[in-house]
C-alpha cells in the first residue's frame, strides 16, 4: 500500500504526459470547429463588385449543385497562394466556385482577378464584413463546400493547398456529387 | 531586495496596468448613445471571444473581426434583442467556442466538475495521510520478546557495572 503511494506521482506525471501527447498530436490548436457544418448556407444577398464582370449572388440562387463558396480578398496574401489551386478545381474538376469578396476595394478586387485570372462564377461583395460574420469566418481565405441542397458540408480555414484538394476536397466532392 | 522594495518598484507598473484595464474601451465611434444599452454591450463583449486572437474577449481585442463583432452586438441590442439572443446569434455561427464562459451541459460537465473532483481527490489524500499518521502514533510498540528483554537486561547490567 505504502509502496503504491510512492509510485503515485510517477503515475500521475505519466498520465499527464499522455494527455498532453494526445492533445498535441496532429492537431492544429487554432483550427476551430465550425458551427455551420450540416446547416444551410446562411441567407446572404451580396451585390456585384464594381469593375468585376460577374453578377453578385443571393443564397436562394445557389441551390441544385454542389459548389465551393470561397471568401477572399485582394489584400490577403494566402488568397494568392490558393488562387491557382481553386482555378484548377474549377477547370479540371468542374466545380462551380462562388466568391465572397471580403472587405475589399472594388478596383483592387478587379485588378486581382485581371492579374491572376477569374475562376469564379459569381462574386458578391461583402464590403462591411457582415457576410463574414454570418459565415462564422475567423479570417481570410475560407472555403466552404456546399451540397446540392444548400447545406454546408465542410469548412476550410486558410488557403486551399494541393494536399487539401487531394485529401479532403476531391473525396468529399465525389461523394456529394454521387 | 526586500519585499517592500520589490513592491515599491513594481507599484507604478501595477497602477499603470490597472489604469489601462479600466480605460480599455471600444472605439469612440462604436459607442452607443444610450448608456444602458452601451453598458449591456460592454458586458456582453467581455463574455465573447475574439475568434482571431482566441484568448481575448472582443471587448479587449483590436482585431478587425472583433470590431465587426462589437458592432454586431450593438446593432442587435439596438434592434431590441435580449442579451441571450445576441449570444445565441453568435453561437449559432461560431459555436460555443465564441463564449469565454462555456455553458454547463453534458459535454462540458467534466470541465465544470474538475475543480470539485480535484479538491475531492486531494481531500481523500489528506485524510488518508492524517489517518496513517494517527495510527502510527496511537499504536503501542510491540512488547519485547524474551530474547530481546534478556539482551536489554544484559546491556543495562554491563553499563551500570562500568
Residue B142 has pLDDT above 70, yes or no: yes
Does residue A21 sit within a domain?
Answer: no
Cβ–Cβ gap A32/B68 under 8 Å: no
ipTM over 0.90: no
A3, A8, A10, A12: CA torsion to nearest 10? 170
Cβ-Cβ pairs closer than 8 A, A with B, add up to 40
Q: Taking residues B19-34, what's their average pLDDT? A: 70
B144/chain A closest Cα distance in angstroms: 26
Kindly report the number of other CB atoms within 10 A of residue A111's CB atom: 14
Q: Domain B16-103, what architecture? A: Orthogonal Bundle (1.10)
Cβ–Cβ gap B94/A32 under 8 Å: yes
Does residue A14 sit within a domain?
Answer: no
Q: Residue B142 carries which DSSP code?
A: P
Report the relative pairing of strands A142-146 and A67-72 from DSSP bridges. antiparallel
A34/chain B closest Cα distance in angstroms: 6
Q: How would you label A59-95 residue by residue, b for 16+ Cβ within 10 Å and e otherwise?
A: beebeeebbbbbbbbbebebbeebbebbbebbeeeeb
Does residue A107 sit within a domain?
Answer: yes
Residues A109, A51: contact at Cβ < 8 Å?
A: yes
A136 touches chain B (CB under 8 A): yes
Residue B30 has pLDDT above 70, yes or no: yes
What's the domain count of chain A?
1
Task: Kindly report the backbone phi and psi dihedral angles of residue A102, in degrees, each rounded to the nearest multiple of 5, phi listed first.
Answer: -95, 120
- Residue of B56, B94, B55, B54 lying closest to B72 (CA atoms): B94
Q: How confident is the model at residue B133 (pLDDT cuts 50, 70, 90)?
A: confident
Phi-psi region of B102 (alpha: psi -120 to 50; beta: other; left: phi over 0): beta
Cα→Cα distances B52→A7, A117, B65, Å: 43, 30, 7
Q: Which residues of chain B neighbour A133 with C-beta distances below 8 Å?
A: 68-69, 72, 93
Minimal Cβ distance to B97: which of A33, A42, A137: A33
Task: Kindly report the backbone phi and psi dihedral angles of residue A69, in degrees, each rounded to the nearest multiple of 5, phi listed first.
Answer: -110, 120
pLDDT in tens, B59-76: 999 899 999 999 999 999
Residue B24 has pLDDT above 70, yes or no: no
For residue A150, give every residue at least 6 positions away whose Cβ sits within 8 Å of its Cβ, in sequence order, or none.
A40, A41, A59, A62, A63
- Residue of B9, B116, B24, B121 lying closest to B70 (CA atoms): B24
Find the residue in B nearest to A36 (Cα): B93
Question: A75 is written with which cell numbers?
Answer: 489584400
Residue A3 has pLDDT above 70, yes or no: yes
Where in chain B do CATH 1.10.8.640 domains reside?
Answer: 16-103
Q: What is d(CA A78, CA A72) in angstroms, rounded to the nearest whole number? A: 9
Does residue A2 sit within a domain?
Answer: no
Does residue A159 sit within a domain?
Answer: yes
Q: Check the CA dihedral B55-B59-B63-B69 and report its sign.
A: positive
B69/chain A closest Cα distance in angstroms: 8
In DSSP terms, which residues pair with A99 in a beta bridge? A70, A123
Does residue A157 sit within a domain?
Answer: yes
Q: What is d(CA B74, CA B91) in angstroms, rounded to the nearest whole number? A: 16
Residue A159 has pLDDT above 60, yes or no: yes
Find the residue in A nearest to B93 (Cα): A136
CATH of the domain at A138: 3.40.30.10
**Domain that includes residue A75, residue range:** 35-177
Minimal Cβ distance to A133: which of B52, B54, B72: B72
Cβ–Cβ gap B68/A133 under 8 Å: yes
Model pTM? Answer: 0.74
Amino acid at each position: 500500500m505504502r509502496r503504491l503511494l510512492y509510485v503515485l506521482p510517477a503515475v500521475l506525471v505519466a498520465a499527464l504526459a499522455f494527455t498532453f501527447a494526445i492533445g498535441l498530436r496532429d492537431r492544429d490548436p487554432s483550427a476551430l470547429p465550425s458551427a455551420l457544418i450540416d446547416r444551410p448556407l446562411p441567407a446572404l444577398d451580396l451585390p456585384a463588385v464594381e469593375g468585376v464582370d460577374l453578377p453578385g449572388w443571393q443564397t436562394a440562387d445557389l441551390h441544385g449543385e454542389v459548389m465551393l463558396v470561397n471568401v477572399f480578398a485582394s489584400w490577403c496574401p494566402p488568397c494568392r497562394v490558393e488562387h491557382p489551386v481553386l482555378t484548377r478545381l474549377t477547370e479540371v474538376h468542374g466545380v462551380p466556385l462562388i466568391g465572397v469578396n471580403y472587405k475589399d476595394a472594388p478596383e483592387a478586387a478587379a485588378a486581382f482577378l485581371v492579374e491572376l485570372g477569374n475562376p469564379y462564377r459569381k462574386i458578391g461583395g461583402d464590403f462591411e464584413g457582415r457576410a463574414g460574420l454570418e459565415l462564422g469566418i475567423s479570417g481570410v481565405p475560407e472555403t466552404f463546400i456546399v451540397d446540392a441542397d444548400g447545406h454546408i458540408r465542410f469548412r476550410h480555414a486558410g488557403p486551399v493547398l494541393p494536399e487539401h484538394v487531394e485529401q479532403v476536397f476531391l473525396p468529399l466532392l465525389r461523394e456529394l456529387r454521387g | 531586495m526586500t519585499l517592500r522594495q520589490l513592491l515599491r518598484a513594481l507599484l507604478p507598473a501595477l497602477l499603470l496596468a490597472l489604469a489601462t484595464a479600466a480605460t480599455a474601451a471600444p472605439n469612440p465611434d462604436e459607442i452607443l448613445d444610450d448608456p444602458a444599452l452601451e453598458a449591456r454591450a460592454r458586458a456582453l463583449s467581455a463574455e465573447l471571444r475574439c475568434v482571431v486572437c482566441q484568448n481575448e474577449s472582443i471587448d479587449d481585442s483590436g482585431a478587425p473581426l472583433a470590431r465587426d463583432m462589437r458592432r454586431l452586438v450593438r446593432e442587435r441590442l439596438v434592434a431590441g434583442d435580449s442579451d441571450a439572443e445576441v449570444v445565441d446569434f453568435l453561437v449559432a455561427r461560431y459555436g460555443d467556442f465564441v463564449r469565454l464562459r462555456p455553458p454547463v451541459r453534458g459535454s462540458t460537465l467534466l470541465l465544470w466538475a474538475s475543480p470539485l473532483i480535484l479538491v475531492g481527490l486531494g481531500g481523500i489524500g489528506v485524510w488518508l495521510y492524517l489517518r496513517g499518521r494517527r495510527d502510527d502514533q496511537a499504536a503501542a510498540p510491540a512488547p519485547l520478546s524474551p530474547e530481546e528483554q534478556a539482551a536489554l537486561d544484559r546491556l543495562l547490567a554491563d553499563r551500570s557495572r562500568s
